[in-house]
Amino acid sequence: MDPSNLEKQREPETARYLDFPNSKPGSGLNKFSSTLTREHDFPAAQAMLYAAGVPNREVLKTYPHVGIASVWWEGNPCNTHLLDLGKEVKRCVEKQNMLAWQYNTVGVSDGITMGGEGMRFSLQTREIIADSIETVTCAQFHDACVTIPGCDKNMPGCVMGMARHNRPSLMIYGGTIQPGFSKLLQKPINITTALEAHGAFIYDTLKNPNDPSETKDAILTDIEQTACPGSGACGGMFTANTMAMMIETLGLSLPGSSSTPATSPAKMRECQKAAEAIKICMERQILPRHCLTKQSFENALVMMMALGGSTNGVLHTLAMATTAEVPLTLADFQRVSDKIPFIADMAPSGKHLMADLYDIGGIPSVQKMLIAAGLLDGSTITITGNTLAQNVDSWPSLAPEQTIIRPLSNPIKPTGHIEILHGNLAPRGAVAKITGKEGLKFTGKARVFNKEHELDAALASGLIPRTENLVLVVRYEGPKGGPGMPEQLKASASIMGAGLKNLALITDGRYSGASHGFIVGHICPEASVGGPIAVVQEGDVITIDAETKRIDMDVSEEEVARRLKEWKPPARVVTRGVLAKYAALVGEASQGAVTDLF
């Protein structure tokens, strides 16, 4: 696609969004802010802007206004440094003769809330972030928007907000964390180590091979204290890095943004480059929906499958596409997964982290390889004003001796790791993450838990046996039923840490990007709306088959119908407050669990 011919691209449908019929846009970069500043129609607004720091009338009348939205807050390493990144962006934007206005959105730490009731608040922050960015940008008549997210839901939330207001925008990823290092175990570790060590702790298999006399308490304490050495998002191809990588591929962040570590000097240099790039977007009117096309989403799915991205990537990509009004369905994920090899030896199923990938060229080097192989379309437009192929052309190629990214001729798995399953347990689909290391088919008897905490309690008490194949069913944890569709990494990590290979785990909730094993999530319809998962009974035989792409319980159609007829919906878990509002508005996972499909 020729980036000089943006007018040939699709004109986004904006009928559902506010079009400001009373605004009087100017012809310069201050297209929207001039509504407030060019004459004396809004003297009170101008008085407020002077008080906020505008130095004189010339700047007021001629400088465009750029909003800088960071998801900064203290108490989470993914986000704690974002205020400093925002300040650097502000300084650099002002050097471009533009006004920069910083503001924040809310955030939730998935790592801190994992396994607790706080996790129910996590997914809905994606909608609050999008609402915040849309609100401030439109209410304050900003001409452009730079977003700076850190943790999982931050990134799709930022993109959804940008797609709604559709003004020149770009995203700076806060960056990945550096690897931790355990003093006792004398090896690199990360957040997944801490979670999986909990399972080993419970089943009394947590040992220090360097010192067999070390207590499990001392080992776990050491892991807790050293897994996260500083600022940055969880280091593997977990949800944060998955979404950052996909959004870079969509063209909404600078080349290398998703793989540049949070604490590296290069991340600060990215802030400087972003100020230049946002001005280019304004001058050429490169808008978010110019980048958010069906082909760019196809590219993002290719990268997701090649690098082993999180199952949350399915949920969030559907949400971004839905908001941008790009037709994308679960079937698209399966189609791309069927043709793209899984080639990345990266955590959680592999051993390397994003910081390791950065050292050998990062995401742009992988993109360059896949463009050369004809698997990525390099013609899609990006916020630099260049195409994806032009962005990575001068980037170093992957060295033949590196071992993180396998050759396409020798993949870890010849097809992608994401499988979209259907069957009498998931008539409208489910998402499985199957790398092949645990096999491609699993059959076992159902053990049913109506909430995640019930399974966590059973695991913590050592009540799940190693003696027979079991399919652990966790239900009433979907978008409405949770409410909030909590991630269930605590359970899946405990299972992996304890080495319970006789188990599969299925849910109408979802999993962290750090999860691995034989797991299926996003089962639709969810239990709380009367999906078949609501009537699974103890002992029902369940089969998960990645080759036939089926998930079924060995129960006749007539028996399922009988059970559903007798089923009664449970009382609502939450009746007031933000989770009640979320449960009332949210759609199903197969459409991205968005709240604005009316």
Q: What local confidence, expressed as pLDDT, does residue 12 receive?
A: 45
Domain boundary assignment for the chain: 64-177+233-392, 180-226, 418-591
Rounded CA-CA distance 479/585 in Å is 10
Q: Is the pLDDT of residue 489 over 80?
A: no
- pLDDT-derived band at 14, boundaries 50, 70, 90: very low
How buried is residue 583: exposed, middle or buried, by Cβ count under 10 Å (0-12/13-18/19+)? buried
Q: What local confidence, expressed as pLDDT, does residue 11 receive?
A: 47
Mean pLDDT of 222-228: 96
Of the listed ranges 96-105, 192-201, 503-512, the one predicted with least confidence: 192-201
Q: What local confidence, expressed as pLDDT, does residue 9 receive?
A: 52
Q: Is the pLDDT of residue 13 over 50?
A: no
The fold for domain 64-177+233-392 equals Rossmann fold (3.40.50)
Instruction: Please report, rounded to a whole number, the percentage of residues in the chain having pLDDT higher than 70.
Output: 95
For 553, list phi and psi in degrees, rounded to 5: -105, 145
Q: Are 135 and 78 in contact (CB under 8 A)?
A: no
Q: How far is CA 235 from CA 175, 194, 300, 346, 403, in A?
A: 9, 13, 20, 10, 18
- pLDDT-derived band at 598, boundaries 50, 70, 90: low
Looking at every residue in the chain, the average pLDDT score rounds to: 93
456 CB neighbour count, 10 Å cutoff: 18
Strands 503-507 and 519-521, bridge-based pairing: parallel
CA 72 to chain centre: 17
Q: Are 235 and 189 in contact (CB under 8 A)?
A: no
Query: Which residues are part of the catalytic machinery?
Result: 512
Better pLDDT: 542 or 488 = 542
Q: What local confidence, expressed as pLDDT, does residue 10 receive?
A: 47
Maximal CA-CA distance, the chain: 79
Q: Is the pLDDT of residue 445 over 60?
A: yes
Q: What local confidence, expressed as pLDDT, does residue 5 receive?
A: 59
Q: Are 182 and 267 in contact (CB under 8 A)?
A: no
Instruction: Please report, rounded to a whole number, the percentage of residues in the chain having pLDDT higher than 90.
Output: 83
Instruction: Give the pLDDT confidence of 235-270 residue by residue, as tens digits.
Output: 999 999 999 999 999 999 999 999 999 999 999 999
Rounded CA-CA distance 228/106 in Å is 22
Residue 87 three-state SS: helix
Mean pLDDT of 113-124: 92
- pLDDT-derived band at 447, boundaries 50, 70, 90: very high
Rounded CA-CA distance 62/57 in Å is 9
Q: Are 120 and 483 in contact (CB under 8 A)?
A: yes
Q: What local confidence, expressed as pLDDT, does residue 597 receive?
A: 79
Q: Is the pLDDT of residue 284 over 90?
A: yes
The verdict on pTM exceeding 0.85 is yes
To the question of domain 418-591 being in CATH 3.40.250.10, the answer is: no
Rounded CA-CA distance 31/502 in Å is 61
Mean pLDDT of 25-43: 87
186 CB neighbour count, 10 Å cutoff: 11
Better pLDDT: 212 or 20 = 212
Q: How far is CA 382 from CA 5, 378, 390, in A?
A: 13, 10, 10
Rounded CA-CA distance 357/395 in Å is 14
- pLDDT-derived band at 7, boundaries 50, 70, 90: very low
